[in-house]
Structures are given as structure tokens and as C-alpha cells.
Structure 1
Amino acid sequence: MAVSSAKTVFHLLTDDDLAPEQAQALIALAAELKAQHQAGHPQHHLLRGKTLAMIFQKPSTRTRVAFEAGMAQLGGHALYLSTNDLQLGRGETIADTARVLSRYVDVIMARVFKHADVVELATYATVPVINGLSDLAHPTQGLADMLTIKEHLGGWEGRTLAYLGCANNMAHSLALSGALVGLNVRLACPPVCAPDATILARAQAIAAKTGAQITVHADPWEAVAGVDVVYTDVWVSMGQQATPTLLEALRPYQVTPAIMAAAGPQAIFMHCLPMYRGQEVVAEVADGPQSVIFDQAENRLHLHKALLVALLTDAGTRVFSGTTA
């Protein structure tokens, strides 16, 4: 994982800050914590006395509630900090904010517009920094999605996910997370919003080691043929402009019953939410029997908890050494 210059501190800024063995160990820890939570086993001793600062340039439902509820369940405390709550809104530098927060809290999560902002936070922070979403990547979602896929399909090896839509931060994280766990990922996107070339190269390099294949397709029908997972995201991310040209280019990538039929009856449908039924996916699919979107949303909680436990307790030795047992 990325390392700060002040002392050895782990940051999760993109999915591949984790090695394949570390990613799989983290997901295994999430599954373990989920099972304990569902069995009613108390976990509030794990992070008692720990504090998470949550910086939000962009609002959120799942990111905020999953981190805040997760810290509460683990016995810690989470602070919600919008840019209006911080001196960032008056021009204080990100570097100074990172230095100050590092004196107060044990870990920082930031949901930002520009990836450079979370990188700068991590550069100057002396506590772990988690990317809760940036314009480049959404690693906590991507890793949580790998947990959901394993739960529903039994594993990742030999399985294939097709992502339809703009190759945005979510597509990047799916390519990286999929590569880390050995899941094949097909990115089906119009040329107007192709994946970042550097991210694609990184994902393909990891996939070469884990046995996965990461490919890009212009034809959505080619991409979904026989896959195990059909995945989409909003066509226009927060802060972007929905131009008529972009919407028209994306129209063939809408997930419909016909698209799901091309994937096959075994395929599950996933979406990171929020969604616009009738745009990137029709309601019949989103609310249909193949949809696992709410299992997917729940797993954000368990992945977040696993990440916090790994970063702030001795469990980190197990995760960062790649031990799954």
C-alpha cells in the first residue's frame, strides 16, 4: 500500500495499493466480521477509543452511513466533516488540514472530487488515509463488490464481470479489484469515455499474475455474452455535465432484460447506487430476481469495518501479510 514519508503508514487510495494476497485477506476479514455481526457477537471492543475523521467534498448515503455505523459497532467514533465544517472552505491548505487532523484522530477517510486531493492528504498525514471516492477510483466499493460476488457465485476464479457504461472511477476500481482477486472484467464503454490508460495497464499487469483477463469492448452485447455479473453505474457522475452527445453515446449500454438474457440466467445484476431507473438500467432488471444491489450495499459496511480493523489493530499484520486464515 502507499506509504507516507513521516513514518510507515498504510493508505488505501486505489484498489491496487493492496497486493492480491492482501486484498483477499481483507475480504476474508470482512466476511468474518459480517458473520460475527449477524450472529450477534459484540465487536465494540475492537476500536474502542479510536476516532475516524470523514471529510466530504461530495455528499453520500452509503459511504457516510457505512463508515459511521461501522465505527459505532466497533466501539469507535466517527466525525462527519463537510468542507463547510473545515477551514478548507476558507482556503486552508490540504497539507495543513492533514497535519492537524493527524494530531486529533486515528484515521482519515476522504470523499473528494479530484484524486489529487486525497493523494495530498495522504502525503502529509501521519495516520492512515482512505479514499472514500475520487474521480479516479472508488476502492472501498470495488473491494466490497468482490465480497458480494464471492458470496453469490462461490468464488472469483473462472468468473467474469461485464461493466457497461462510462469507464469512470467505478469501472477503474472494478478492473483493479477484479484483477487482484482473479476475476475477469470486461469494460464495455463508448470511445467518448474510455478507461484511463494507466489504470488499465496496472489492472492488466496484476491480472497477468492472478490469471484474470481485463479487456475493453465497444460492443455491449459482445461484453455481456455468457458473463456471471452484469454491472453498471450512473451515466453521469456527480459534478459532471450530462451532454446530449454523451447520453446518446451511452444509450446502447443500458441494462435491459435483453442484456441480462444475453448474459444468461445464472448472471447477477450489480449497481453501486444511487441509480436512475430508466436511464442506465430499467426497473425490471434493477428490482428483478437477478439483482443483488442491496446485498451489495450492505457489504460496504462489512468491508469498511474490516479495513478500519486492519488499519488500527493487530489484525493489520494478518491482512498486510496476506494471511487469510
Structure 2
Amino acid sequence: MSTTASTSSPLRHLVSIKDLSDEEFKVLVQRAQHFKDIFKENKTNDFQSNHLKLLGKTVALIFTKRSTRTRISTEGAATFFGAQPMFLGKEDIQLGINESFHDTTKVVSSMVSCIFARVNKHEDIQALCKDSSVPIINSLCDKFHPLQAICDLLTIVEKFDISLDAINKGTNSKLKIAWIGDANNVINDMSIACLKFGISVSIATPPGIEMDSDIVEEANKIAKRTGANFELTHDSLKASTNANILVTDTFVSMGEEFAKQAKLKQFQGFQINQELTSVADPSFKFMHCLPRHKEEVSDDVFYGEHSIVFEEAENRLYAAMSAIDVFVSNKGNFKDLK
């Protein structure tokens, strides 16, 4: 599996944000911004030139978990580049049932230009990368969610009018995000992504829930390099204090429904509501990758004037476009993009 910063590698996969250099991740956000501009401004010539990049080719979507935003954004992005998206749900193919991961991956990758994979275990993504002859784009596993991180940073750049040129020059953004909730795949990538942009990160999880040690180690390294602060706490009020961005996610992930009552008891006091927003920056923004449940955030915050959740959701489309453009059309080369 090639996830190094080198552009000379014959095949690169998008597995996590921490596998990318700071500059490479910024390129992905810039490309997402670029494609959003084309899409919103309905630039016909740009539509036509991009539509030729993968015309006549196929993009496979291997999904073992259900999805709304990931499926729509991925199929839309593939179509934008002229490719035919092919959805392969867990009931559609033999993956891991009557056929090994190795055999299925060999067969599917021989017929398509790339594979978007939304799976359960991180080991499944690693297995796909090991045996695929085309780029694997991680569309969610239990460890990482890189497309969401690209989308989230695009949203933050837009809403806080951050200059990507300034970020590229190493200027600290002076922003702070507060994550209130579980230690999961979304914050694993989002924390690394924010720190690469010089955005300080404060993560509040309930007692007994800790971030993965490899994520913490990498986050501390990046924070030291970019001058941002990285903080772990079990105090949701402390994390929220002076935060420019409040973020949360589901407390009960898909596959954990059996433990719902125990999880909800553990997460008492971690709902983002008026108590937490009262200590945040007065102009704070609220983000959530969706789908949302009321135990995570109160209605007045979720639907309030500070919420940017639906703009954030739309940006998943442009994040998927960016990933296809760099990893598929440009074969993992972050330079000489057209």
C-alpha cells in the first residue's frame, strides 16, 4: 500500500489524513474548493473538460454499511468526471462471504478505475489496498473517515474566510474547534486535518473513553509543527470554552445499537446545548457529519443560526470530486493538476 508523500509511487490510496503531508492535504481542500466553484458557477467549459477525464470508465462503490451522504456524493463525483458509478452493496457481491477479500479485490479492481470502500473494519481497508490494482478511497471504516475531513476543512475555510495562501505560508489560523463526544473515526481524521491547518483542537470525551494512542502521538507532532494547541479532556465545558467551532457525532455508531442504553448513560452531560454554547465564542459555528440524534445536540443548536450542518453535508460532493481528481485522474500526483 502506498500512502507516502512521494509522487513517484505507481499507486496511491487515500486511507487517512495522517498519511498525507500537510501540503498534500491542503491541495485536496483547494481542489474541493475549485470544483465547488465550477459546480456553483455552472462553468460549462470546465464541466466538459472534467467530464472527459474518466469518460467510459467505471468507479466501484463497495459499501458494507448503509449511507446517504457518502453514496450520493460519490456517485455524483464519479458522474462529474464522466465515469459510471457501480454500487456494490454487501448483498450484491461475494466479498468475504463465498469469496475471499483477496479474490474479490483482484477481480473488481481489474475492471474499474478506482474503488470507494465504506466498510466496518480498518483491516478491511488495508486488505483492499494490499490487493487492489487501482486506487482505494476510504469512504469510512472504524478507524478513519478522510472524505469527511476534507469536507469539514472546506466548510471551515468558507465560513471563517480563511486564506489558503496564508495557511500554505504557515500562518496560524487562531481558530479553536471543540469536539464533544466519542473518540471515533471522524475525530481521528478531523483532528489531524485541523492541526495541519493550524487550528487548535480540544477533544472532550466521557471518562473511560480515550483517543487512540497513534492519533494522539501524530496530533502532538503536528501541533508542535504548526503552533496549534491540542488538548484532551473529559470536561465538556472546558473544551467548549472560547471555541469557534463546536462539533459532535453519533454516540451510538452503526453496529453498536445493542449497547445504546449503556452508551447514552455514559454520555450524559455531553449533549451540545445552551450550557455549552454559552461558553463558546459568541460567533461560534456548529458542525455535525450527520445523521444526527437529539441526545448529541439540542434542536435549538442543530437548527439554529450558528449551525452549518447542511452546508457541510453538501461539501461532501466536492470532497469526493477532489479525491477522484487527485488519486484517480492524476494517479496520486499532487502536482501538475489541471
Q: Deviations over 1:252-283 (max 9, x none)?
A: 1100022112112211000000001x210011
Equivalent position of 2:322 in the other structure: 306
2:189 to 152, 164, 173: 173
1:283 to 299, 308, 311: 299
2:134 to 127, 146, 166: 127
Q: Which runs of 5+ in 1 are unaligned?
A: none
Q: CA RMSD in A?
A: 1.8
Q: Alpha-carbon deviation of 1:316? A: 4.8
Q: Alpha-carbon deviation of 1:18? A: 1.3
Q: Output aligned runs, 1:1-325, within 5 Å.
A: 2=3, 8-41=10-43, 42=47, 43-88=50-95, 90-155=97-162, 157-240=173-256, 241-276=258-293, 278-314=294-330, 316-317=332-333, 320-321=334-335
What CA distance in whole angstroms lies between the structure 1 residues aligned with 2:278 and 2:246? 11
What CA distance in whole angstroms lies between the structure 2 residues aligned with 1:51 and 1:181? 34
Q: List, as ranges, runs of 4+ consecutive aligned residues in structure 1 with deviation greater than 4 Å.
A: none
**1:12 and 1:129 in contact (8 A); partners too:** yes
Q: Which runs of 5+ in 2 are unaligned?
A: 163-171
Query: What amino acid does structure 1 have at the position aligned with 2:263?
Result: L
Q: Deviations over 1:88-134 (max 9, x none)?
A: 25331111111111210010111111110011100111110011111
Q: Alpha-carbon deviation of 1:324? A: 9.4
Of stretches 87-96 and 61-70 in structure 1, the one that deviates more from structure 2 is 87-96
Q: Alpha-carbon deviation of 1:313? A: 2.3
Query: What amino acid does structure 2 have at the position aligned with 1:37?
Result: F
Identity %: 34
What CA distance in whole angstroms lies between the structure 1 residues aligned with 2:158 and 2:331? 22
Count residues with an aligned counterpart. 318
